[in-house]
Amino acid sequence: MAANLPRRRIVLLGATGSIGESTLRVIAAHRDRLELVGIASHSRHQRLAEIAREFGVKHVGLADDAALAAARTSDAFSAGTVFYGGPVGLAEIATLTEADTVLVAVVGTAGLEPALAAIAARKTIALASKELLVMAGKFVMAAARASGSQLLPVDSEHNAVFQCLQGHRTEDVRRIVLTASGGAFRDWPLERLAEATPTDALKHPNWAMGPKITVDSATLANKGLELIEAQWLFGLRAEQCEAVLHAQSIIHCLVEYRDGSILTQLCPPSMTFPIQHALLFPDRAPCPTDDALSLHKPFTLDFRPVEAERYPMLGLAQAAMVAGGNAPAVFNAANEVAVAAFLGGQVSFLAISGVVEQVLAQVKNTEPPSLPAVMEADAEARRVARALLPTFNSSSR
Ligand code: NDP
Ligand code: MG
């Protein structure tokens, strides 16, 4: 039967990252249905060469010029490899005629332009990079409506909501609740948070992910970004999007309808499930790399409200979501700068929310008339955040 189903031809942006590697596992397990035709990353060309050889990929993109130059002269790539460089090159590889689906898993804002190019080229977008909708949800959704390009959520919570909405009307949704594990510090005494180091923050209790998103899980900035993303993806109002702590990360969302019924989706905390769902949608196939949830052993699912004091970043994200305009982009940009400074040992863990709060207060919120206006707000937020860092540096905290 599988032989009769169409093959999906995929470009994978962010192939060398955590989502990228999970995507490769899914593609390797379903080579009859999924074909990798293009890969791109920032600079890790040796890993791209390995992937290109394993999957027979001809089109390779590198955002970093030096890495691109090294890759071009490397004999690790086959002679017929076509290289794409820089942001323009990533947009080109995202619009390859031989591809029908682009999985966007680039960390940060670099995925925005290639994703918009792919949308304009009417590719199906499997979307992992949450920054795109957070920054430019209005423009990305309008572009998708205009071209008819389908957006399939890869982030586990959004993929879960997407599954729970199938066969239902969005206007019947009362609210959606995204679950959060609570990250590395969920059980730490509050007074210890001031001493939290990057090594502590990177010990996620449930998920194995890239470093930036793992820190965002510890602050719950990640859940804040996800609420904003959900609002755009599913056409909801800010007050319809909530978060709850769920330590086991087995339930990924709760979708409450107006009659009080709640639908949910369960699977183990592994990204291969939502990635496979998005890439094979609307078909289903066994998920080969993970053990399914066993119902033959006792297990507990518990929920608790988010403590505002422990997770000020969630409150800041929700305020930005309600404010709308440029505020979500400013929240995102300030958070990126603050998290990088925390990971680099420049500022303390608690400084992350301090920096973001001050940047949101200092950058004037306006309704962006165009994408360049969003990019300007993003750049301004980064400038303001960088200028604030010395006042938060580790020695003066
Ligand atoms: P990683 O840090 O593990 O990987 C990031 C990837 O992005 C790498 O392939 C990196 O390339 C590439 N990259 C970085 N900068 C650029 C650039 N300027 N141009 C092109 N490629 C670039 O991140 P994750 O895989 O964890 O996350 C990727 C995205 O998916 C993020 O937006 C994250 O929020 C989202 N996400 C992640 C989840 C997860 O479980 N990890 C879950 C849900 C969403 P290189 O290796 O060469 O530097
Ligand atoms: Mg998520």
pLDDT tens-digit profile of 80-105? 999 999 889 999 999 999 999 999 99
| CA of residue 155 to ligand 2 center, whole Å | 5
Ligand 1: residue of 11, 13, 18, 21 to mutate (most ligand atoms within 8 A of CB) is: 18
One domain, residues 369 and 240: yes
**51 in a structural domain:** yes
Domain boundary among the residues 111, 129, 147 is at 129
Report pLDDT digits (tens) over 344-372.
999 999 999 999 999 999 999 999 999 99
The amino acid present at 131, given as its one-letter code, is E
What is the tally of structural domains in the chain? Answer: 2
Q: Which residues span the domain enclosing 39?
A: 2-129
One domain, residues 95 and 227: no
What are the Cα distances from residue 241, in Å, to 155, 201, 378?
16, 26, 24
* Atom 23 of ligand 1: nearest residue by CA position: 210
One domain, residues 201 and 333: yes
| Residue carrying the six token digits 């086959």 | 78
| Closest C-alpha to 316, from 304, 333, 291, 299 | 333
**274 in a structural domain:** no
Alpha-carbon distance 93 to 62, whole Å? 10
One domain, residues 123 and 221: no
One domain, residues 246 and 377: yes
Low-confidence stretches of the chain (pLDDT beneath 50): 1-2, 396-397
CATH of the domain at 21: 3.40.50.720
One domain, residues 249 and 344: yes
Which of left, alpha, beta for 325 (phi over 0: left; psi -120 to 50: alpha)? Answer: left
What is this structure's pTM? Answer: 0.95
pLDDT on residue 397: 45
**207 in a structural domain:** yes
* Atom 26 of ligand 1: nearest residue by CA position: 210
Q: Do the Cβ atoms of 312 and 322 come closer than 8 Å?
A: no
The amino acid present at 66, given as its one-letter code, is A
pLDDT on residue 1: 46
**94 in a structural domain:** yes
**279 in a structural domain:** no
Alpha-carbon distance 357 to 355, whole Å? 6
* Atom 9 of ligand 1: nearest residue by CA position: 14
